Chain A
């Protein structure tokens, strides 16, 4: 099958999905009595410097969250517990970093390791439960979300510092913070240094899945578990390792924000990224590049939506409908495109064979 057609097909599904999302969102706006024109002109307005900085920063966190989800999804393992894993990991990392046991940037490194380990272990509980007791990872991770969020809340209110209305962990020492890069005016804010973390992890996951034996085993298990078992894959081991990896990456989600802006775990902690990540992983078909574009789209929509209330009197929640429809349509559109692709491939096969061997009694169609 030729490469151009294949590439075209790959782009077709997201395109269909975006068109569907635009149509549905417009209909909802019309029903709600809002101005469709205002909405889209604001969403597609050229972002300001401040918007750009926010879009980049948010993209990095959404991207990490979606990578964490994708690792599991590639082998049909549904880690719905990313939310809990990164909440607990973020708290633990902020706690360790705030204690400043190590000097300067070494402190950052130790905190990152703590985040990865805590996230991995928390997810690992669900993995171990699945292979030893047959507990569905979906149920286990959802329960673990609730437990993690409760634990963090408890620890924070009993051991955190009083800060304004709420409580927080001890702030990082100045030497453990990153200034980031000021791309525009000073008031526009900075792009966080640890956005680079997302880039590194993205490349790492891509290599891991596509180029390593482990990645092959992982994909094979997801594609056909019985065949993977027959090929020698130890599925139980794979489940535990994948859960650990997924949770480990989840642990890193909030780290760019912690060291670039927040400085502590407290009321400013950004919730919900874990669930956004699941949606974006679906949107990007669990491929790092697809996930990247999905993360940009989600970050863009959320950021641009902030202006809606002020400038057009439209509720920013409308973009959540857009985001939801994009994800749903992508799933449907991929199934349809997949079918077209299979037909096209069979046709190519038949053409190639007819060209090669001309059997008697049959003329090429």
Chain B
């Protein structure tokens, strides 16, 4: 055991190289990492890319001391290290910025930073000086006395990075740091990261967004199925090459071909309002139309009313105004009636709204369609019909499962999502409400899901698409509406709009086109 303890004062300007050799980590029944080899040069941005489930998170946890490898070695500046907890990793100068921020909203930046690290610089002026020093050194632009709740997402992320630097880290692991940012914020983050690199910090950047990786990384390592499958030089590599390394196949694109929009109105919302218990508007004066064969994309920073809009259309929340389907007023209908009328629903959180995790797949296939054939007849469940149709979905949508009697919990996220998409596309829906249909899904499954949406659209399906992935929105939609604070604030043509323009409208920066 040679845990390196370092002075925790200033990020050291030299060192910070990591060598991972033959790391293997097994969980009951699963090999999460196998023979992982990575060499991270000091003072570089090293990108680790791979699909969901490729083993990036496990490797990250091993580097940060959350988990111990079963086999293999990790060397820091040529010296072998063994971490038994994150405390050891922090002592050795490794810090981690999690995807989900771990900040107390009602505390100030100063308080959040010193929390748990009171021994370093105390909690008073010395700490304040240090925070200001770090913030100025890297252009973080953070005031130690601002409350975290008053900060935007980008600034909160900088607080997280500051926390790590404050504890003396010179190797920083960033877990999908751009997942929560709009394009402008990503640019700002990258500027900060370049500053950090210039001052000698080593950054391990985990992502599956290839554009960003190519823009920021000095070295790239690709993981697939739990192991490192290759390295790439960002100066010469293309997105396509990286994606092929990631999935072992070609990079899919969400782009739809020719327009299939008809002039037959399918869904119409007129002046829809949704008010919460405190009387605040969650949705205000929402009006739009979706035609047969049309995909309407809703862009917006999360939490601006997308979930509420979906609930209003699905009848899960009682909204005022008028909602019509095929010229029939369905404002007063319940969720079941709307589903029976042919609305398919891919929920944003599949575990919360989409699945019975401890029930077998064939019962999950029935969920939401339990009143319709082939799942039931005369009020009785048709087990044979439901099971046969589940077998069909498993085959057609490539759900990787040993059996339709397996519980939904046992499947990976991508396979769960494919089952949901297959289920919602069954029974010839007329309208599909798709909330983040490819979130947390690997590239292969993503391509398949896009293909299914495009095919149904050609057959006249109308789609209300909500997504945080702007490429997906631009690629699939015939029209994009931007939602901000519960109101539709602008309409864009996906053929001409850029992610930057959308990002600007989403944050209320610029008026709509």
The reply to whether A230 and B347 form a contact with Cβ atoms under 8 Å apart is: yes
Q: What is the CB-to-nearest-CB distance from A127 to chain B, in angstroms, rounded to a whole number? A: 19
Contacts of B376 in A (CB 8 A): 213, 216
Nearest residue in A to B364 (C-beta to C-beta)?
Answer: A227
The reply to whether B368 and A362 form a contact with Cβ atoms under 8 Å apart is: no
**With known contacts A230-B314, A231-B370, A342–B335 Cβ distance under 8 A:** no
**With known contacts A213-B370, A347-B29, A230–B226 Cβ distance under 8 A:** no
The reply to whether B224 and A230 form a contact with Cβ atoms under 8 Å apart is: no
A216 to B359, CA, bound (A): 11
A360 to B357, CA, bound (A): 30
A182 at the interface (CB under 8 A from B): no
Encoded as 1 (CB less than 8 Å from any A CB) or 0, chain B from 334 to 368 comes to 11111110000101000011111111000100111
Say whether chain A's binding surface is mostly helix, strand, loop, or mixed.
Answer: helix
B279 at the interface (CB under 8 A from A): no
**With known contacts A227-B356, A234-B334, A359-B224, A365–B26 Cβ distance under 8 A:** yes
A19 at the interface (CB under 8 A from B): no
Q: What is the CB-to-nearest-CB distance from A231 to chain B, in angstroms, rounded to a whole number? A: 4
A233 at the interface (CB under 8 A from B): yes
The reply to whether B379 and A349 form a contact with Cβ atoms under 8 Å apart is: no
Q: Which of B309-341 contact A (CB under 8 A)?
A: 314, 316, 334-340
Q: What is the CB-to-nearest-CB distance from A258 to chain B, in angstroms, rounded to a whole number? A: 33
A212 at the interface (CB under 8 A from B): yes
Q: Which of A184-232 contact B (CB under 8 A)?
A: 210-217, 219-220, 223-224, 226-232
A234 to B318, CA, bound (A): 13
Contacts of B248 in A (CB 8 A): 359-360
Nearest residue in B to A341 (C-beta to C-beta)?
Answer: B407
A86 to B411, CA, bound (A): 44
Q: Contacting A349 at CB < 8 Å: which of B26, B370, B410?
A: B410
Contacts of B368 in A (CB 8 A): 230-232
The reply to whether A232 and B403 form a contact with Cβ atoms under 8 Å apart is: no
B405 at the interface (CB under 8 A from A): yes
Tell which of A212, A216, A219, A365 has the most Cβ of chain B within 10 Å: A216
A266 to B248, CA, bound (A): 79
A7 at the interface (CB under 8 A from B): no
The reply to whether B226 and A352 form a contact with Cβ atoms under 8 Å apart is: no
A219 to B226, CA, bound (A): 37
B409 at the interface (CB under 8 A from A): yes
The reply to whether A345 and B406 form a contact with Cβ atoms under 8 Å apart is: yes
Contacts of A233 in B (CB 8 A): 335-336
Q: Which of B392-407 contact A (CB under 8 A)?
A: 400-403, 405-407
Nearest residue in A to B28 (C-beta to C-beta)?
Answer: A343
Q: Contacting B406 at CB < 8 Å: which of A230, A232, A349, A359?
A: A349
The reply to whether A232 and B336 form a contact with Cβ atoms under 8 Å apart is: yes
Q: Which of A317-365 contact B (CB under 8 A)?
A: 342-353, 356-357, 359-363, 365
Q: What is the CB-to-nearest-CB distance from A191 to chain B, in angstroms, rounded to a whole number? A: 33
Contacts of A217 in B (CB 8 A): 370
The reply to whether B30 and A346 form a contact with Cβ atoms under 8 Å apart is: yes
The reply to whether B227 and A362 form a contact with Cβ atoms under 8 Å apart is: yes
A224 to B359, CA, bound (A): 10
Contacts of A211 in B (CB 8 A): 380-381, 383
B417 at the interface (CB under 8 A from A): no
A312 at the interface (CB under 8 A from B): no
Nearest residue in B to A214 (C-beta to C-beta)?
Answer: B379
**In the complex, which range does the number of interface residues on chain A fall in?**
35 or more
Contacts of A229 in B (CB 8 A): 316, 335, 353
The reply to whether B30 and A230 form a contact with Cβ atoms under 8 Å apart is: no
The reply to whether A346 and B29 form a contact with Cβ atoms under 8 Å apart is: yes
**In the complex, which range does the number of interface residues on chain B fall in?**
35 or more
A226 to B26, CA, bound (A): 34
Q: What is the CB-to-nearest-CB distance from A174 to chain B, in angstroms, rounded to a whole number? A: 42
A1 at the interface (CB under 8 A from B): yes
B31 at the interface (CB under 8 A from A): yes
The reply to whether B29 and A224 form a contact with Cβ atoms under 8 Å apart is: no
The reply to whether B28 and A223 form a contact with Cβ atoms under 8 Å apart is: no
Contacts of B345 in A (CB 8 A): 230
Contacts of A350 in B (CB 8 A): 29-30
Q: What is the CB-to-nearest-CB distance from A122 to chain B, in angstroms, rounded to a whole number? A: 27
Q: Contacting B225 at CB < 8 Å: which of A230, A343, A348, A361?
A: A361
A352 to B316, CA, bound (A): 38
Contacts of A226 in B (CB 8 A): 352-353
Contacts of B402 in A (CB 8 A): 1, 348-349, 351-353
Q: What is the CB-to-nearest-CB distance from B288 to chain A, in angstroms, rounded to a whole number? A: 22
The reply to whether A232 and B339 form a contact with Cβ atoms under 8 Å apart is: yes
Contacts of B363 in A (CB 8 A): 216
Encoded as 1 (CB less than 8 Å from any A CB) or 0, chain B from 17 to 54 comes to 00000000010111100110000000000000000000
Q: What is the CB-to-nearest-CB distance from B350 to chain A, in angstroms, rounded to a whole number? A: 9
Q: Which of A18-33 contact B (CB under 8 A)?
A: none
Q: Contacting A232 at CB < 8 Å: which of B334, B347, B410?
A: B334
B229 at the interface (CB under 8 A from A): yes
The reply to whether B353 and A220 form a contact with Cβ atoms under 8 Å apart is: no
Instruction: Known A-B contacts: A217-B370, A234-B336. Give 16 more (CB < 8 A).
Output: A1-B403, A211-B383, A223-B357, A224-B352, A226-B352, A227-B367, A230-B335, A232-B335, A232-B336, A234-B334, A345-B406, A346-B29, A346-B30, A347-B29, A352-B403, A361-B227
Nearest 9 CB-CB pairings of A with B: A347-B29, A232-B336, A352-B402, A231-B368, A230-B353, A232-B335, A223-B356, A362-B225, A359-B225
* Interface residues, chain A, with chain B CB atoms under 8 Å away: 1, 210-217, 219-220, 223-224, 226-234, 342-353, 356-357, 359-363, 365
* 18 A-B pairs in the complex with CB atoms less than 8 angstroms apart: A1-B405, A1-B406, A211-B381, A212-B381, A215-B381, A216-B363, A220-B370, A223-B359, A224-B357, A226-B353, A232-B338, A233-B336, A342-B407, A347-B29, A361-B229, A362-B31, A362-B227, A365-B30
